[in-house]
């Protein structure tokens, strides 16, 4: 009977599940993005379970969170070190770790995925979690380029699936893109909006289109800077200076590409190009492809468009 009721609820879930107040969040992925989201959520009083594949990764994640909190405290509690230390301990007490994603998903309000940008891997993850997570649990992806609809298709909770795209570094960046698909219920979308606000972020509503808002504008801008350079119409140094001093940008496009990662930029463009091959904005770049093939991804490898060693 319980199994039958579950099937009915999943078929008519908008009638069974109302606006969820997100208090406990399970974050899948202990990398820079996942740890950053965990820090912000724990700092705003949410209970957080941070999940990754090994205890070693999770220990490194927690150590990174603690280090980031110490930098916050150094500024915010400069006149009261004791209060600062109490703040750190309180935030850390809100974070637990787990190397079993299915176990972690069995009791949570929100499962937020921040793992590798690979559609199949994300689908396998969410399909497994869909079998064990409570009916009311909302699923969300932090993907920056993959369609939320495609990720959600691996589950039976299409109405309880959305996107929460945070920006790096998460503790510093105020924006969150909240993405709804054609199947996302209004209750789910409102819950994700309210959760973003509870984190102290400013949410913007997005449709499930390539790149959402920010990357849909930003990535073609960076690619056009590369094409400008490829045509010999400007050096990368002059283009960077022009955009910083002329447009007021904190980084020029080549500096930003190196910061984001040239491999990441290529991955995004390759994906968009496969979806819309006739769109000139998504055309590949010889220079970008060459640098990525040589393992020159930007700051993280010591060389991209610029050298950092």
55 assigned to a ligand binding site: no
Catalytic residue among 43, 141, 144, 185: 144
Concatenated DSSP letters of 137-200: -EEEE--SSS-HHHHHTTSS-GGGEEEEEE-SSTTT--EEEEEE-SS--HHHHHHHHHHHHHTT
Q: How many residues does the chain have?
A: 309
Count of Cβ atoms closer than 10 Å to residue 69 Cβ = 23
205 assigned to a ligand binding site: no
45 assigned to a ligand binding site: no
76 assigned to a ligand binding site: no
* 161-166 and 175-180 beta bridge pairing: antiparallel
168 assigned to a ligand binding site: yes
117 assigned to a ligand binding site: yes
Catalytic residue among 177, 185, 191, 255: 177
Catalytic residue among 113, 141, 142, 165: 165
Helix (H, G, I), strand (E, B) or coil at 105: coil
Helix (H, G, I), strand (E, B) or coil at 106: coil
Type and span of the H or E element at 54: none
Contact residues for 11 (Cβ-Cβ < 8 A; gap 6+): none
Beta strands in the chain (DSSP E): 24-28, 47-51, 95-98, 110-113, 138-141, 161-166, 175-180, 202-207
68 assigned to a ligand binding site: yes
29 assigned to a ligand binding site: yes
60 assigned to a ligand binding site: no
144 given a catalytic annotation: yes
Beta-bridge partners for 165: 177
33 assigned to a ligand binding site: yes
Helix (H, G, I), strand (E, B) or coil at 220: helix
Q: Which of 102, 106, 87, 4 is nearest to 39 (CA)?
A: 87
52 assigned to a ligand binding site: yes
Catalytic residue among 43, 141, 196, 215: 215
Integer Cα distance of 66 and 280 in angstroms: 45
Answer whether 27's CB lies under 8 Å from 48's CB.
yes
165 given a catalytic annotation: yes
82 assigned to a ligand binding site: no
Integer Cα distance of 143 and 116 in angstroms: 9
Q: Which residue ranges are tagged as binding site?
A: 29-34, 52, 68, 75, 117, 122, 144, 168, 300
Q: Which residue ranges are tagged as binding site for NAD(+)?
A: 29-34, 52, 117, 122, 144, 168, 300
> Catalytic residues, which ones?
144, 165, 177, 215
Q: Which residue ranges are tagged as binding site for CoA?
A: 68, 75, 144
């Amino acid at each position: 009977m319980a199994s039958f009721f579950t099937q009915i609820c999943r078929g008519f879930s908008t009638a069974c599940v109302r606006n969820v107040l997100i208090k406990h969040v399970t974050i899948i992925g202990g990398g820079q993005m996942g740890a950053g989201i965990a820090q912000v959520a724990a700092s705003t009083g949410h209970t957080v379970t941070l999940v990754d594949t090994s205890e070693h990764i999770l220990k490194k994640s927690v150590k990174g969170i603690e280090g980031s909190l110490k930098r916050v405290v150094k500024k915010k509690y400069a006149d009261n070190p004791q209060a600062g230390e109490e703040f750190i301990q309180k935030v850390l007490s809100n974070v637990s770790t787990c190397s079993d994603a299915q176990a972690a998903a069995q009791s949570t309000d929100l499962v937020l995925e921040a793992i590798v940008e690979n559609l199949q891997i994300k689908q396998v993850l969410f399909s497994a979690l869909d079998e064990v997570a409570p009916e009311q649990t909302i699923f969300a992806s932090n993907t920056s380029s993959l369609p939320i609809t495609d990720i959600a298709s691996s589950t039976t909770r299409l109405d309880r699936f959305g996107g929460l795209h945070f920006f790096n570094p998460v503790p510093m960046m105020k924006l969150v893109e909240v993405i709804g698909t054609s199947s996302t219920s209004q209750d789910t979308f409102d819950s994700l909006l309210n959760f973003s606000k509870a984190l102290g972020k400013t949410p913007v509503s997005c449709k499930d289109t390539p790149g959402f808002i920010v990357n849909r504008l930003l990535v073609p801008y960076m690619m056009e800077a590369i094409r400008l350079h490829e045509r010999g119409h400007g050096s990368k140094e002059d283009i960077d200076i022009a955009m910083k001093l002329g447009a007021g940008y904190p980084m020029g496009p080549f500096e930003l590409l190196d910061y984001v990662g040239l491999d990441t930029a290529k991955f995004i463009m390759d994906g968009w190009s496969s979806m819309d091959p006739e769109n000139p904005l998504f055309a590949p770049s010889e220079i970008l492809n060459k640098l990525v093939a040589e393992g020159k991804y930007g700051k993280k490898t010591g060389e991209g468009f610029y050298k950092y060693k």
